[in-house]
Amino acid sequence: MHLHVVNPNASAEMTAGIARAAEAAAPAGVTVTVTGAAGGPLSIEGPVDGAMAVPWMLQRIEEAEAQGVDAHVIACFDDTGLDAARCVARAPVVGIGEAAAHCATLVADRFAVVTSVPEALPVLRGNLARYGLAARCAGLRAAGVPVLDIDAGTPEALAAIRRETAAALDDDGADAIVLGCAGMASLAASLSEEFGCPVIEGIAAGLSLAAALAGAGLRTSKRGGYAFPRKTAAS
């Protein structure tokens, strides 16, 4: 099986980091190709970055479709451009935010999301409502730590993430944690051990769900909302 993971931003460093995480998380027997956008923003923080990134990301999806990959994973917790990506693909497309939330509801009664900065919360809140999983979400929390500090693994960043994880479990009543930021992927295992509950990061969840859909022979519906775009002339 051949999966395509696309980083919707143009940061080569982030693409490399995602590639490392994907390699570590790839299911057995699965080949993973990781691509990054050739243009657009270097990170995606909010709706404008998302909007500027999607056209570049769709190129990568279409190229990988042409090469016959079995499924696509959008490696941004915002699930940037998910609906548009499904429209250009026959193969299934999974966003890592969506994947982590679906997995959480299968191993816990209620989950909470712990992410980097408060600016990220509105998009995540809207996504969960659209997926129908908002009622299973006990809380959305931001550690108040920039993505770069998380990537650097500073002690302050780690302390803030652990503090919000504890609050999500104890105060919000969550049974599982979804890490809402790609840069937190490497923390999942140690946090899960420390807090004694599932701690779900999106790259592994996304690869696993994408492989599950492709393995079950499923492809994106071309009726209704995800139909291929009509060939409209561009100016």
Site for its own copies in 18-57 (CB under 8 A): 25, 27-29, 37-43, 45-52, 54-55
176 binds its own copies (CB under 8 A): yes
CA 30 to chain centroid: 19
CB of 73 or CB of 161, closer to its own copies: 73
- Give the DSSP letter of residue 78: T
User: Exposed/middle/buried for 33, CB within 10 Å: 0-12, 13-18, 19+?
Assistant: middle
3-state SS class at 233: coil
The DSSP bridge partners found for residue 115 are 142
- Whole-angstrom Cα distance, residue 76 to residue 59? 16
- Min dist CB 62 to its own copies, Å, is 10
Site string for its own copies, 105-124 (x = CB under 8 A): xxxxxx-------xx-xxx-
Query: 76 with 54: CB under 8 angstroms?
Result: no
CB of 111 or CB of 158, closer to its own copies: 111
153-172 residues in contact with its own copies (CB under 8 A) are: 169
- Min dist CB 37 to its own copies, Å, is 8
190-209 residues in contact with its own copies (CB under 8 A) are: 196-198, 200, 204-205, 207-209
The DSSP bridge partners found for residue 108 are none
Only one of the segments 149-157, 159-167, 178-186, 226-234 lies at the binding site for its own copies (rule: CB under 8 A); that segment is 226-234
CB of 55 or CB of 68, closer to its own copies: 55
Out of 13, 20, 130, 159, the only residue in the binding site for its own copies (CB under 8 A) is: 130
Containing 71, the helix (H) or strand (E) segment is strand 71-74
- Min dist CB 6 to its own copies, Å, is 14
The DSSP bridge partners found for residue 11 are none
Closest Cα partner for 26 from 46, 4, 41? Answer: 4
- Min dist CB 153 to its own copies, Å, is 21
Q: How many residues bind its own copies (CB under 8 A)?
A: 92
Out of 16, 63, 156, 222, the only residue in the binding site for its own copies (CB under 8 A) is: 222
180 binds its own copies (CB under 8 A): no
Closest Cα partner for 13 from 182, 192, 212, 220? Answer: 182
Query: 217 with 106: CB under 8 angstroms?
Result: no
